[in-house]
Amino acid sequence: MSRRILILVALSLIGVATPASAQILSNPGGALGPLGQAIPSLPTQRLPVVGAVLPNQQQEQERQEMAASALAQPSLDRIGVGNVIDTFGSKPLARLRDQRLRTMILQFSEQLDRDKNGNPVRRGELVVIDPDAQALADVASAGFVPLREEAVLGLRFVVLSIPDRGGDIRKAMKRLAKAASGLDLEYNHVFEPAGGPLATTYSVALASGASLTAKGSLIAMIDGGVAAHESLKGAAIRQRGFVGKVVPTGHGTAVASLLVGDAGRFKGAAIGARLLVADVYGGNPAAGSATAIVRALGWAEENNAQVVNISLVGPPNKLLEKAIAQLQTRKIRVVAAVGNDGPAAPPQYPASYDGVVAVTGVDAQGRALREAGRAKHLDFAAPGADMAAALPAGGYAEVRGTSFAAPLAAARLAAIGSIENLSREAVDGKGKVGRGIVCSTCAISPKTVGAK
């Protein structure tokens, strides 16, 4: 059976994968199987074309199917696609992305629906931006009920419940547009961590450390919650949940450690900086909505953050775009990862918005990651492979993906204050790296800290 056929078989079987186990991925650069077990490294050689599947070929096929199944599962704890990219190549990653989103919507069907392009949205919810009194009256007469009204960053928006909350949200959108023409309408899209695979952990959430009134730059990160970890003991961190209580995740913990971690030979890129952690998931992969992210952006602005790191990806969303534009008028810079679904996937947001610093990842040789996604523009690269980050359960893991490059770029931007200065310190890389690689020496080798 050829490698191409194996890939197609693996892709076809993703839809029946079981939910991902609530564990941390422990094999470097690997993935979790359906029951949370580590998947062996996948060889990259082409298998011979034969009429029957030999035992060793069958084992290889099963490993590939497990790898594909793991990548198709929604997770708040991915730490990298690892050598799965060598098995599947970059182009099928876009198909894996589509299947992952379908799996996510199916797995959380009571909470999620899809827009016309198949992107996950909050079920039964539509958003109207800056409506006037007459518009709201028209909306009510059409059977749409206001769930909540919010004012953030100079924007006013109302989240509406559709008449049949379990009904087709795409049809509801068309009905609403017809009932109240001229309204600025949007879905409440759901955004994913751009980790590429760390399931929600049962670790203790990090308590606030040193006072945020201390000197030093102030960075905000919008992600999952952060767990208590030895590298974060002395850091000035404040956490806040935007969809309930703060719930630690592997992804959020890894990103925070890359920013302000400091323990022995492990050093984050912004030691001494103060950190705001906005948890927009509360441990639920079906959270992470545009409205939660916008509220988190408002919190960052209220606390005078200088830079906001968003290692999340999703589709274009008008409410989020307007909120980021408002941040920019307040001289707050947003840094975002381009994602890990390969260049064949659609451009990802918020990295693709004007003025957002879009960041990709490179390996230890300065080569752009093959699985890196794309944005409508690319500003910089930073280390995104061959590096360690904190694990919630203690110790460190080898991480890979643009999620972990973005905080390094955010750290440098906060330290030196401008895109122009960041451009001047960027060094050349190989492949698509934007203006160059920043924080090129910031990655901590996994061997240095005994990463799992």
For residue 320, pLDDT beyond 50:
yes
Average pLDDT on 43-58 reads 41
d(CA 275, CA 360): 22
pLDDT score recorded for residue 68? 52
pLDDT score recorded for residue 213? 57
For residue 21, pLDDT beyond 90:
no
Answer yes or no: are the C-beta atoms of 243 and 284 closer than 8 Å: yes
pLDDT score recorded for residue 201? 54
Among 385, 345, 390, 391, residue whose Cα is nearest residue 365: 385
Does 223 qualify as catalytic in the annotation? Answer: yes
Per the structure block, which two tokens stand in for 137? 């009256």
Write the pLDDT tens digit of every residue in 94-123.
788 888 899 999 999 999 999 999 999 999
Comparing 229 with 56, which gets the higher pLDDT?
Answer: 229
Local confidence band at 141 (pLDDT 50, 70, 90 cut-offs): very high
Other CB atoms within 10 Å distance of the CB of residue 108: 18
Local confidence band at 92 (pLDDT 50, 70, 90 cut-offs): confident
Q: Which listed residue (251, 289, 341, 363) is catalytic?
A: 251
| Average pLDDT value over all residues in the chain | 83
Local confidence band at 393 (pLDDT 50, 70, 90 cut-offs): confident
Comparing 411 with 196, which gets the higher pLDDT?
Answer: 411
Can you give the pTM of this predicted structure? 0.84
Q: Which listed residue (77, 113, 138, 223) is catalytic?
A: 223
Does 251 qualify as catalytic in the annotation? Answer: yes
pLDDT score recorded for residue 202? 56
pLDDT score recorded for residue 34? 26
Average pLDDT on 144-161 reads 96
Average pLDDT on 139-164 reads 95
Residue 350, preceding peptide bond in cis (omega within 30° of 0): yes
Tell me, letter by letter, the H, E, C secondary structure of the chain. CCHHHHHHHHHHHHHHCCCCCCCCCCCCCCCECCCCCECCCCCCCCCCCCCCCCHHHHHHHHHHHHHHHHHCCCCCCCCCCCCHHHHHCCHHHHHHHHHHHHHHHHHCCCCEEECCCCCEEEEEEEEEECCCHHHHHHHHHCCCEEEEEEEECCEEEEEEECCCCCCCHHHHHHHHHHHCCCCEEEEEEECEECCCCCCCCCCCECCCCCCCCCCCCEEEEEECECECCHHHCCCEEEEEECCCCCCECHHHHHHHHHHHCEECCEECCCCCCEEEEEECCCCCCCCCEHHHHHHHHHHHHHCCCCEEEECEEECCCHHHHHHHHHHHHCCCEEEEECCCCCCCCCCCECCCCCCCEEEEEECCCCEECCCCCCCCCCCEEEECCCEEEECCCCCEEEECCHHHHHHHHHHHHHHHCCHHHHHHHCECCECCCCCCECCCCCCCCHHHHCCC
For residue 44, pLDDT beyond 60:
no
Comparing 154 with 23, which gets the higher pLDDT?
Answer: 154
Among 292, 285, 275, 362, residue whose Cα is nearest residue 78: 285
Write the pLDDT tens digit of every residue in 262-291.
999 999 999 999 999 999 999 999 999 999
Comparing 295 with 25, which gets the higher pLDDT?
Answer: 295
pLDDT score recorded for residue 47? 28
Comparing 144 with 7, which gets the higher pLDDT?
Answer: 144
Local confidence band at 206 (pLDDT 50, 70, 90 cut-offs): confident
Q: What share of the chain has pLDDT > 90, as a percent?
A: 69
pLDDT score recorded for residue 55? 54
pLDDT score recorded for residue 125? 97
pLDDT score recorded for residue 52? 39
Answer yes or no: are the C-beta atoms of 340 and 401 closer than 8 Å: yes
Q: What share of the chain has pLDDT > 70, as a percent?
A: 76
- Of 3-17, 151-165, 328-342, where does mean pLDDT reach its minimum? 3-17
For residue 62, pLDDT beyond 90:
no
Q: Which listed residue (69, 217, 311, 403) is catalytic?
A: 403
pLDDT score recorded for residue 93? 77
Average pLDDT on 367-376 reads 94
Average pLDDT on 350-361 reads 98
Average pLDDT on 292-303 reads 98
Write the pLDDT tens digit of every residue in 407-435.
999 999 999 999 999 999 999 999 999 99
